[in-house]
Structure 1
Amino acid sequence: MSESSSKKSSKHDLKSKTLHCKNLHEYLKTLSSSVLDRLYIHPITCLAVYRELSEIAKHYIIRIIFVEQPVPQAVIASWLSKAYAKEHKEAVEALTELKIWKESSVTGGLPVWELNPVFKKHIRVALLGGGKNWFMSSHMEADTKPRDIAFLDAYAMERWECVLHYMVGSHQQEGISADAVRNLLHAGLMRCDNDGSAIITKEGFQFLLMDTAAQVWYFILQYLSTVEDKGLDLSLCLTFLFQLRFSILGKDYSTEGMNDGLLIFLQHLREFGLVYQRKRKAGRFYPTRLALNMAAGQNQSDVSIREGYIIIETNYRIYAYTDSNLKVALVGLFTNLIYRFPNVTVGVLTRDSIRTALRSGITADQIVGFLRMHAHPKMISVGSSILPPTIVDQIYLWEQERNRFNFSEGVLYSQFMSQNDFETLRDYAQDLGVLVWQNERKRTMVVTKSSHDDVKKFWKRHSRGNS
């Protein structure tokens, strides 16, 4: 009898984990109370957090920011009918997780909600005005070489596409900074191969098909997790990002008053395309659309700087009207490319091309979402259904077909000397519940990898007893 190991990927590996991009609430609740308190001393941060809350949570804050004592929980609960109990619970949880209020009790044990005094003070300033100037200074001489919105959009996408070109292994990899490469490795979007070169991971493939605004937000979140290792203040960096979100596109702002840490942070944002600065010591910078749309996610994507370029026919043909190597490479992640012309690339969706994408970690949802997001205007004008329904259904069917199989590691036993030997070992494995597969005619069987040692010991004892 001979035995061999049969290694196959598990079902969990087959169905790759979907890359999750945290929203602002999900990210902030992971921060410590001390960091959140340092954030809440800035009115602009309080305003940014307030805007992301649900309408009910906003209503609760507005009603209690001028109440100078804790408010009974029963009183706040009475502001909504019982039909909205679920929404009330979600609002309470959000305000608690963000440390905007905390639960306490007064004399007699009455449970109350007590608003965070730091947040209370500065949300008043944000909503009503007053206090010191909490926005970036813009009082300076006019720029002798002003930059318009079209230039800023082109610059932002050029810088950001440097990162994406690097990930897809395009020939156009010039311009990516060492910080960007380190961040890609830290985020798990790429990993170092045996020869030291960086190669894309399954999560990286999923990242490539995300909306640009979501890509930037995910990338910046990963970068923020490393700023303290670089000697930067996380709360100051976050506050500066919130200021960028409230800035005006096409307007320049002064770097006056920024400390050394923020100036370093500004240079990193410049490398990623979130701000434009002519020179490091120019004294002014322009926020780009990437910074303004950051954390907006896929619901508020950067449609204004993205133009659809993909046309799909019911015969599974894909036409990508672009001369961008990056866009062609993205389409090639799940398409068999047939022809490449100066301004159009032709490909076809096949079972093999979709399965290759699925093995890379890309999901059917992401492929369909990418095709919808980059659909040519002529496809959008046809009707409500942007993509042909048959194409969408087939992509999902190919995914379901692949996910039907359940793979597991096992050990193969074969070449038994007699039928009796085979049946003895097979019955033993079956009694243990570790028999995966058997073929009586060929005297072949497979047992689970974890049970291999027990089955092997039994076989040795059986062989010695018959010798």
Structure 2
Amino acid sequence: MPNLNEKKQQLTFLEFTKSLAPAVLEQLYTQPTTCIAVYRELPILARHIIARILFVNHPVPKSVVSSWVTSDYQSEQLAACEKLSQLRIWQEHQIPGGLIAYNLNDIFRANFQRSFHAQEDIHTTTSHLGPDKNARDIAFLDKYASERWEIVLHFLVGTREARHGGITPDIHAILLHSGLMKLDNDDMPIISELGFQFLLMDRSSQVWNFIQQYLATVESRSQSFVECITFLLQLNFATLGKDFPTESLTDSQQRFVQHLRELGLVYQRKRLSNRFYPTRLAVNIVTGQNRIAGETKDKGFIVVETNYRVYAYTDSPLHVALLSLFCDMLYRFPNMVVGNITRDSVRQALMHGIKSEQIINYLTMHAHREMVATKPILPATIIDQIRLWEIERDRFEFTEGVLYNQFISQSEYDKIRDFAKDIGVLICENAQTRTIVVDKQGHDDVKKFWKRQKKS
């Protein structure tokens, strides 16, 4: 089972890979695509080191590696070396003479070298199937990917469109497992604080975040983690608009394809079709470079004025639902909605776990092209006020506690207060009214002490 931290958000591909168990890493390095993906995401100095020792079949002394950079860059090199060790790309060994040397992982070395000579074969080409009479172009794939992914977002928001899109039990379970949704008192799924934050991420971050959660749950569905992530990395290097065969996929990968199809990462005309097309959501997924045409087209649709009025030129129910997370919606027209950013609307968003910077980033990311031409893109007064509303809310720190009063004497009050202070559970005190407040965890100890004092 991979050692994944299920609650951590936004792991980069290297952080995600580093979190895996050593045995899982060794299995993944048997695939050239994994080696290439890891190499591409490494710091430039780490890539430089690998390039220098890739064809050196003996350990390289640590002192030799250190000599490759000047003293000004020693800290960067130490960080690069540590990264290579954490990812088990190389290991430290002691060689004759007591020197420490680095030895490149043999499995990584062999398969990274293989990637230089990889040739397209029957497992990656559909040439033996003949031309696809139902071939799909890139524009179709972009539209399909956008529509399928937005169904997941609609389901999170709870719009009417979510009822018609079809979320399977497996995807529903992942939304609950990841903490993006939770069950209310009636066991109905509702969006969580993490879910609200998820909605304001850019599209590629949403997809990569969700896929990490999917991979954390594959073994609970009797799927192979290694086979699924290997397949995902193969899609990462796929050519957009090119079809691939399904016949060489394992059972785990076949099931993975159906889930990716539901999410919009893969297009397959029918469930039993012998070919599929990766969409832009899957291509370059681990590098965060995947963008779909629909997102680019809709990117500039929001205008924010200095009077806190927001105009959104969109007919998308999803966009309207997202804006309503932190805006008071006033009017809705066929191709535009109007709202206000208010203290209450922002405070409501903050109560749901949304941060001021996420609101600002969302408005900036989708700013209309007329606003993008100005600097700063959003009015400075709006940015400052949203941040101030968050600071205003965070001025207060709430601590659950128990109030003690009605002391019969000043000495009794002093003893209880001093005892609570000594054991570190005193929250506040007021000598004039003879009241103290202790934290909930320390209540039992203070209560027992008070009873002993009364008996004595």
**TM-score when normalising by structure 1:** 0.88
> Shift of residue 275 of structure 1?
0.4
Q: Secondary structure at 1:291's aligned position in 2?
A: coil
Structure-to-structure mapping, 1:429-440, within 5 angstroms: 429-432=416-419, 433=421, 434-438=425-429
Structure-to-structure mapping, 1:295-444, within 5 angstroms: 295-297=286-288, 300=289, 302=291, 304-306=293-295, 307=298, 308-381=300-373, 383-414=374-405, 416=406, 421=408, 423-432=410-419, 433=421, 434-438=425-429, 444=435
Question: Which residue of structure 2 lines up, in the alignment, with residue 70 of structure 1?
Answer: 59
Moved more, 194-203 or 424-433: 424-433
**Partner letter of residue 291 of structure 2?**
D
Moved more, 300-309 or 242-251: 300-309
Q: Secondary structure at 1:242's aligned position in 2?
A: helix
Contact 2:268–2:277 under 8 Å retained in 1 = yes
C-alpha distance in 2 between matches for 1:34 and 1:462: 60
**Partner letter of residue 330 of structure 2?**
I
C-alpha distance in 2 between matches for 1:442 and 1:405: 23
> Shift of residue 458 of structure 1?
5.1
> Shift of residue 135 of structure 1?
6.6
> Shift of residue 125 of structure 1?
1.9
> Shift of residue 442 of structure 1?
5.9
> Shift of residue 344 of structure 1?
1.4
> Shift of residue 179 of structure 1?
1.4
> Shift of residue 301 of structure 1?
5.8
Question: Which residue of structure 1 lines up, in the alignment, with residue 126 of structure 2?
Answer: 138
Tell whether 2:46 aligns with 1:61. Answer: no
Moved more, 135-144 or 210-219: 135-144
Gaps spanning 5+ residues in structure 2: where?
1-6
Question: Which residue of structure 1 lines up, in the alignment, with residue 4 of structure 2?
Answer: none
Question: Which residue of structure 2 lines up, in the alignment, with residue 270 of structure 1?
Answer: 261
C-alpha distance in 2 between matches for 1:437 and 1:122: 64
Which of 88, 91, 100 is matched with 1:111 structurally? 100
Contact 1:19–1:206 under 8 Å retained in 2 = no
Which of 223, 231, 236 is matched with 1:245 structurally? 236
> Shift of residue 302 of structure 1?
2.0
> Shift of residue 449 of structure 1?
2.5
Contact 1:19–1:203 under 8 Å retained in 2 = no
> Shift of residue 44 of structure 1?
1.7
CA 1:182–1:435 in structure 2 vs 1: closer, same or farther (change >3 Å)?
Answer: closer
C-alpha distance in 2 between matches for 1:185 and 1:29: 25
CA 1:333–1:130 in structure 2 vs 1: closer, same or farther (change >3 Å)?
Answer: closer
Q: Secondary structure at 1:289's aligned position in 2?
A: coil
Which of 82, 101, 105 is matched with 2:71 structurally? 82
Contact 1:237–1:262 under 8 Å retained in 2 = yes
Count of paired positions: 440
Say which structure, 1 or 2, has more relative contact order (CA 8 Å, 6+ apart).
1
Question: Which residue of structure 1 lines up, in the alignment, with residue 110 of structure 2?
Answer: 121
C-alpha distance in 1 between matches for 2:350 and 2:279: 34
Contact 1:214–1:295 under 8 Å retained in 2 = no
**1:383-412 Cα shifts (integer Å, max 9, x gaps):** 231111111111111112222222111112
Moved more, 219-228 or 422-431: 422-431
> Shift of residue 288 of structure 1?
0.7
**1:276-304 Cα shifts (integer Å, max 9, x gaps):** 0100121111111111142333xx46264
> Shift of residue 161 of structure 1?
0.9
**1:160-210 Cα shifts (integer Å, max 9, x gaps):** 111111111111112212211011011111122231211111111111111
Question: Which residue of structure 1 lines up, in the alignment, with residue 10 of structure 2?
Answer: 21
Tell whether 2:34 aligns with 1:42. Answer: no
Identity over aligned pairs, percent = 50
Gaps spanning 5+ residues in structure 1: where?
1-17
**1:104-144 Cα shifts (integer Å, max 9, x gaps):** 111122110000111111111213x1577497223232221
Which of 64, 69, 84 is matched with 1:95 structurally? 84
Which of 171, 179, 184 is matched with 2:175 structurally? 184
C-alpha distance in 1 between matches for 2:120 and 2:331: 61
C-alpha distance in 2 between matches for 1:372 and 1:301: 19
The root-mean-square deviation of aligned C-alpha atoms, in Å, is 2.2
**Partner letter of residue 449 of structure 1?**
K
Q: Secondary structure at 1:282's aligned position in 2?
A: coil
C-alpha distance in 2 between matches for 1:206 and 1:19: 13
Question: Which residue of structure 2 lines up, in the alignment, with residue 222 of structure 1?
Answer: 213
Q: Secondary structure at 2:281's aligned position in 1?
A: helix
